[in-house]
């Protein structure tokens, strides 16, 4: 019953009605998959559901499934839906077994996806290597952002050592022209943003958002020590220092309003 525009509130309202109807009929809860209990996908799914009046701990079941197996699990009926990064959503659409209900770019704009991290001791003992790694990430992200490189990027990721998925399944995410299923296509602005808008800057507000979700869903107690650990593990000072030789413009603040 969701409208094909993938607007999160309308999609969530339709899902909530379905869940209530199943509960009223005595049917078992819907089962949704995420990639890990501490993944961004778990927190983002829970955040969206809760915002739509759905209790993710009582109204549905959340299970763990590795990303490459999600489309097959959906097709086999072992799960009813999942939250994961691309191209695993497009894989289900291409197979004709799934549809994209909504996307994170409509829930939390310019939000993080993957992370590159290092142990504090290693970072302190290897400052030049860390700086070189961050500069390499900067250059790679800029290359990935260039539309002229999309074909080569898709071909690279199609190799078995990486995603092992056909280039055609990767292109919707790279271009932002998503095939939602049922012949519906939607252009999502800033869907793939590996470089622009300070995409790789380690915003402390990102760390604090994830921390609040860990507390909200009972994974951590809220303590001053835990708050400090979450806040301090993001190091914009190291990022600025590494990129200073490149003369690139970087944010002056360490945190921003998220949403």
Region 225-235: mean pLDDT is 97
- pLDDT value, residue 71: 98
Q: What is the pLDDT of residue 5?
A: 62
Domains of the chain, by residue range, sit at 8-106
Using CA atoms, how far apart are residues 215 and 228, in angstroms rounded to an integer?
14
Cis-peptide into 139, omega within 30 deg: no
Nearest to 101 by CA among 109, 110, 92: 92
Q: How confident is the model at residue 161 (pLDDT cuts 50, 70, 90)?
A: very high
Q: What is the mean pLDDT of residues 107-124?
A: 94
Minimal CA–CA distance to 197: which of 259, 113, 104, 110?
110
Provide the pLDDT for residue 4. 54
Spatial distance between the Cα atoms of 39 and 94, rounded to a whole number of angstroms: 25
DSSP string, 121-183: HHHHH-HHHHHHHHHHHHHHHHHHH-GGGHHHHHHHHTSTTTT---HHHHHHHHHTEEEEETT
At 133, give phi and psi (nearest 5°): -65, -45
What distance in Å separates the CA atoms of residue 71 and residue 92, rounded to the nearest whole number?
5
Determine the pLDDT at residue 259.
85
Mind listing the pLDDT tens digit for each residue in 53-87? Answer: 999 999 999 999 999 999 999 999 999 999 999 99
37-55 pLDDT per residue, tens: 999 999 999 999 999 999 9
Query: Which CATH architecture group holds 8-106?
Result: 3-Layer(aba) Sandwich (3.40)
Please provide the average confidence, as pLDDT, over all residues in the chain.
96
> What's the pLDDT band for 3 if we cut at 50, 70, 90?
low
pLDDT of residue 88: 98
pLDDT of 201 above 80: yes
């Amino acid at each position: 019953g969701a409208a094909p525009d993938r607007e999160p509130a309308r999609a969530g309202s339709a899902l909530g009605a379905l869940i209530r109807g199943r509960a009223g009929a005595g049917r078992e809860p819907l089962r949704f998959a995420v990639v890990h209990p501490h993944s961004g996908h778990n927190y983002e799914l829970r955040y969206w559901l809760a915002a739509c009046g759905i209790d993710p701990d009582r109204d549905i079941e959340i299970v763990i499934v590795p990303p490459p197996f999600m489309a097959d699990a959906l097709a086999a009926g072992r799960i009813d839906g999942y939250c994961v990064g691309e191209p695993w959503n497009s894989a289900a659409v291409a197979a004709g077994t799934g549809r994209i209900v909504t996307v994170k770019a409509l829930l939390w704009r310019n939000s993080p996806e993957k992370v590159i991290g290092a142990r504090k001791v290693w970072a302190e003992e290897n400052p030049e290597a860390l700086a070189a790694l961050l500069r390499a990430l900067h250059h790679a992200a800029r290359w990935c952002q260039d539309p002229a490189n999309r074909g080569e990027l898709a071909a690279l990721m199609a190799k078995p050592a990486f995603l092992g998925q056909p280039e055609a399944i990767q292109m919707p995410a790279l271009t932002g022209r998503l095939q939602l299923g049922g012949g519906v296509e939607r252009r999502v602005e800033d869907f793939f943003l590996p470089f622009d808008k300070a995409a790789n800057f380690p915003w402390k507000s990102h760390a604090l958002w994830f921390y609040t979700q860990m507390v909200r869903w009972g994974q951590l107690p809220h303590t001053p020590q835990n708050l400090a650990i979450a806040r301090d593990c993001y190091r914009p000072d190291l990022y600025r220092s590494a990129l200073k030789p490149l003369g690139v413009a970087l944010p002056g603040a360490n945190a921003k309003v998220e949403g």
